[in-house]
Structure 1
Amino acid sequence: MAENRRLWWTVAAAAGLLAGGALPPLGSPPLLWLALVPLWALSPAQGALWGAMAVLISHRWLLWLHPLDWVGVPLPLSLPLCLLLWLSIALLGAVLVGGWRWLVGRLGADRFAAALLASALWGLAEVLLAKGPLFWIGLGAAALPGDPALAGLAQLLGAGGLAMLQLLLGWGLWQGVLRRRWRGRWLLGWLLSVLALHGAGLQQLRSESRSALEGPRETVLVLQPAIPTREKFSWLQQRSLQRQLSAALTEAQQRGADLLVLPEGALALGQELPSPPALEVLSGGFRQQDLELRSSLLQFPAGATEAQAALDKHRLVPLGEWIPGSGLLGWAGLSAVGGVSPGEAPRLLPRADGALAVAICYELADGSSLSRASRDGAGWILASANLDPYPEQLQQQFRALAQLRAIEASRWLVSAANTGPSLVVSPDGQVLAQLPSGQAGTLLSTVSRRFGQTPYVRWGEWPLLLLVLGASASLAWSRVRQS
């Protein structure tokens, strides 16, 4: 008996590690389905271990914050603090997955209605968590970059719906192992379901591409400065940025660009452009709103060296830009510009040449907000980020999320990042161009403003909510009949 318990704990840890590895940058749904099979049979405590292991693997890039001496943290405390942050996120994942597994135990996982209810609730939870400060990537992003056909279903159900489908496919495999009498027929039905889902995803991408309404084209030049965040505010690096910005303004004018884009935090507080631009400039930077410091996307119309409008960052990085009770503690956070205040929630930036949906940094994880901006008139999506000093693992996760956001809304997406990834994604999720990571450079692309609405843009999370209500009603009616 004790050996069986140890075996299940080992299986829980191994499956969690496999789940974390199956997420982007690998993006392998088949590996994730295998990792989800034992999750349906684990105890709540073992499910918590599964969740902790998955987060430890998928969020290991947090350790690259070390060393933190550049923001005033003593070197002996730097690594312990980074480890504490990494383990704290894993603990949160353990609590959430353990709680979900407890709910599955209460519902009973043998019936499809119970599995559907539990899976849809997980998907909705990912959508809600993406609006708070403590979520980056979940099962909804697992289809990319390895399985774009399955990711096409995001146009119907969003990332929450993709998370639900991953769980249901894992449940189907688990049931196939249990149903000894009908195992062959069950697994054949499961395989046909997988093929049908992929076919539906491809069909959705193709039909949306054919029916999309496209407006005028816009030529965008992206500047990737590749300035290390730890040296960002030094005189030498500021001079380098000024030279790169002046050269980019000249290049944009010579190559006929309509818009120049700089990444998150490129300009310091109150910093102006070196010369009046001949075209519109959108740059990450900082501004003062009353007594509050905001991290923003600053808008410089043609001919203006000072920003005339801005969209403030709403979803702040915990510990980096904001900590709970920071006013009482007298600590602004880990970043060199800590103490930032959040802006308004809508991600729509009005412009004379057409509104944009804007994601600053890890706001890219919140697909519902960007889809709402698309519904409100955004013609394409702009992602502005500074992912230094994190490794390429995080950049590749960012790239996968950019692909998913483009698919959900069927919009062109342009990313401008300090050290990468600066890229262009087509409405069907293909990365058409990308600058090398960590190297300074410019990227010229042409995007079309699109006005159509995918089912997800139009309906949001309503399909998931209806599935929750339907599955709940089915379970309730079944219990009434049994009683």
Structure 2
Amino acid sequence: MKLLSFEHFNLKLPANLNLRKVRYISLSLFSGILMGLATEPLGWWLVTWVAFVPLWVMVVEAKRRGRIPWEITAGWGVGYYGFSLFWMTGIHPMTSLGVPWLASLAIAIFSWVFITLWGTAIVIVWGWLFAKLMPLNIGAKTSLIRILIGTALWCALEAVWSGGPLWWSTLALTQSFGNLVILHLGQISGPNTVVATILVVNGTVAELWLTHKQQKSSLYLIPVGIFAIAHLIGLSLYNIPLNSDPETSLRVGVIQGNIPNEIKLNPQGFRQALNGYTRGYLELAARGVDAVLTPETALPFVWNRHDSYHYNYSLYQAILPQGVIAWVGGFGETEGGLTNSLFTINGEGEIIGQYDKTHLVPLGEYIPFDAILGRVINRLSPLEARLVAGEKQQKFETGWGKAIAGICYDSAFADHFRRQVAAGGEFILTASNDAHYATMMLSQHHAQDVMRAIEGDRWTVRATNTGYSGIIDPHGRTLWISGINTYEIHDHIIYRRHSQTLYVRWGDWLTFLLLAISAIVIFWNRFLSLAIPQNRR
């Protein structure tokens, strides 16, 4: 069977739209969507290892024709980020919060389109830089250089984007939580270790495709071999025994309150939450748990060490005779305003620990570029998105040692968890409220925490409002997961750990190494291309 060559597509296109251009962009869009299918809840993680190939090939072919196809890279980005982030439209309708139906729809569409384009910018910048820096000669050496440069650039861009306020769909997310073996590479240099492996395999397949006329088909065993070696390394890490010491055990209870957002902030919802969390706390305390975790803003009022009005609430009154520590989601106070916080309340009713959410949700919890966008948002809706972000260097005291804490959106930021593990955190606690989203988001949120558990080599306890709550071991195995839109309580034994992975100690060192080697190779390659002709003269 004759192989279809990407050279059949003409990239020197006239000003008016033609069928070949449509096919080219459609192929890019399709391969981006294919990558999106690898994320949860579908979890077709195997397609990840070839879904980047069309984009790679098209960028190289375009460069050979003297142009950089921004519309092709944009098509791939829209396909991947648009599909994997479609759950963002679930914030509509917000009528229960006083937002008019049309304004709610406008906010949902704007949020989804904006974050999709923000992710798409990674692909456009990658394609432009890749085309600028890549060599165009044909040969094994040139292909290796292109694989190196393409991989280093993508990892660098993900590192830059993940340092900003808008981040979610790293390519590593396509492997969570279906491919736990490869996710263990995250213990080496974080999620970018997985990303680099994905790019190397895709890049190798693409380079073999580009030179298939000069190469034997048996060479396609090379990317298969890279794939296998990477998984063998991951398997070796996956098979390391946990060796849990009984003296470090901790029986933790989880309460999934299942309070719909439509009633969460009104008197009915507050009474339902208070009764549900009090009942769950008492039952878990009777089971002999050491501590109880509640979801994000489980009791949405201000908890303050110096005020006493919350002393009359039934949950607080239940803590005093039971003496079991409670980690309660609520609001805190700071000089700049309110914080979205998780509190440790000990058996004497004292607040001995507080973690303030670090990564706030744009438009939901704060308004970016408030001076400009604030006036527009205020016209669309009555929402008050004015929470204050917590400091990055926090330590969460739990009554059972230090914990690594994350509230909702924090889960997307690997370095946030790495810092807390390095500072002595012994286990992970995450509290979330995803009630306004569909199953797609809930699954991906769980997948984020699976990656954080593996990267930090820590037991993880998840408490959510409506699902999925769960218990995850340091190998990323989900030992218990709740249903959706159900009231549930669960207790499970976890273990405090003190190990530190290479990623925890050194951070994302692999990306810096790839960039350094790429810079040397690019300089050396271009220096030789100029120096050799002069020497021959």
CA deviation profile, 1:325-357 (whole Å, cap 9, x unmatched): 436736679796631011101353133421000
Task: Indicate which of 300, 310, 331 corresponds to 2:354.
Answer: 310
Which amino acid is the alignment partner of residue 178 of structure 1? L
- 1:440 corresponds in structure 2 to 487
Moved more, 83-92 or 442-451: 83-92
Query: What SS is found at the alignment partner of 2:351?
Result: coil
Q: Give, in whole Å, the separation in 1 of the partners of 2:299 and 2:93.
A: 24
Assess, with a 3 A threshold, how the Cα gap between structure 1 residues 324 and 167 changes in structure 2: closer, same or farther: same
CA contact (8 A) 2:336 2:388 kept: no
- 1:82 corresponds in structure 2 to 108
Unaligned runs of 5+ in 2: 1-9, 11-17, 60-68, 136-141, 304-309, 531-537
Task: Indicate which of 119, 124, 147 corresponds to 1:115.
Answer: 147
Moved more, 250-259 or 17-26: 17-26
Establish whether residue 157 from structure 1 lines up as the match of residue 189 from structure 2.
yes
- 1:257 corresponds in structure 2 to 289
- 1:417 corresponds in structure 2 to 464
User: Superposition pairs for residues 371-382 of structure 1, below 5 Å?
Assistant: 371-382=418-429
CA contact (8 A) 1:357 1:374 kept: yes
Which amino acid is the alignment partner of residue 102 of structure 1? W
Q: Give, in whole Å, the separation in 2 of the partners of 1:334 and 1:452.
A: 48
Q: Give, in whole Å, the separation in 2 of the partners of 1:299 and 1:410.
A: 23
CA contact (8 A) 2:403 2:426 kept: yes
- 1:58 corresponds in structure 2 to 84
Residue 386 of structure 1: CA displacement? Answer: 0.3
- 2:535 corresponds in structure 1 to none
Q: Give, in whole Å, the separation in 2 of the partners of 1:17 and 1:349.
A: 39
Task: Indicate which of 334, 344, 365 corresponds to 1:299.
Answer: 344
Assess, with a 3 A threshold, how the Cα gap between structure 1 residues 116 and 241 changes in structure 2: closer, same or farther: same
Task: Indicate which of 462, 477, 496 corresponds to 1:430.
Answer: 477
- 2:98 corresponds in structure 1 to 72
Residue 449 of structure 1: CA displacement? Answer: 0.5
Task: Indicate which of 157, 166, 174 corresponds to 2:206.
Answer: 174
User: Superposition pairs for residues 121-200 of structure 1, below 5 Å?
Assistant: 121-180=153-212, 181-200=214-233
Q: Give, in whole Å, the separation in 2 of the partners of 1:255 and 1:224.
A: 17
CA deviation profile, 1:295-339 (whole Å, cap 9, x unmatched): 1111211120x6343111111100001012436736679796631
Q: Give, in whole Å, the separation in 1 of the partners of 2:245 and 2:123.
A: 41
Which amino acid is the alignment partner of residue 30 of structure 2? A
Higher-Rg member (1/2): 2
CA deviation profile, 1:146-184 (whole Å, cap 9, x unmatched): 221111111112111211211221111111212223242
Q: Give, in whole Å, the separation in 2 of the partners of 1:105 and 1:63.
A: 34
Unaligned runs of 5+ in 1: none
Which amino acid is the alignment partner of residue 26 of structure 1? L
Residue 405 of structure 1: CA displacement? Answer: 0.8
Which amino acid is the alignment partner of residue 147 of structure 1? N
CA RMSD of aligned residues (A): 2.1
Assess, with a 3 A threshold, how the Cα gap between structure 1 residues 336 and 480 changes in structure 2: closer, same or farther: same
CA contact (8 A) 1:321 1:338 kept: yes
Task: Indicate which of 5, 27, 47 corresponds to 2:73.
Answer: 47
CA deviation profile, 1:407-441 (whole Å, cap 9, x unmatched): 11111011000011110001001000011111011
Q: Give, in whole Å, the separation in 1 of the partners of 2:457 and 2:354.
A: 25
Q: Give, in whole Å, the separation in 2 of the partners of 1:423 and 1:337.
A: 31
CA contact (8 A) 1:123 1:164 kept: yes
Matched length? 481
- 2:6 corresponds in structure 1 to none
CA contact (8 A) 1:28 1:144 kept: no
CA contact (8 A) 1:26 1:145 kept: no
- 2:64 corresponds in structure 1 to none
CA contact (8 A) 1:423 1:434 kept: yes
Query: What SS is found at the alignment partner of 2:387?
Result: coil
Task: Indicate which of 502, 516, 521 corresponds to 1:469.
Answer: 516
Assess, with a 3 A threshold, how the Cα gap between structure 1 residues 232 and 337 changes in structure 2: closer, same or farther: farther
TM-score normalised by structure 2 residue count? 0.85
Task: Indicate which of 328, 334, 342 corresponds to 1:289.
Answer: 334
Q: Give, in whole Å, the separation in 1 of the partners of 2:488 and 2:117.
A: 39
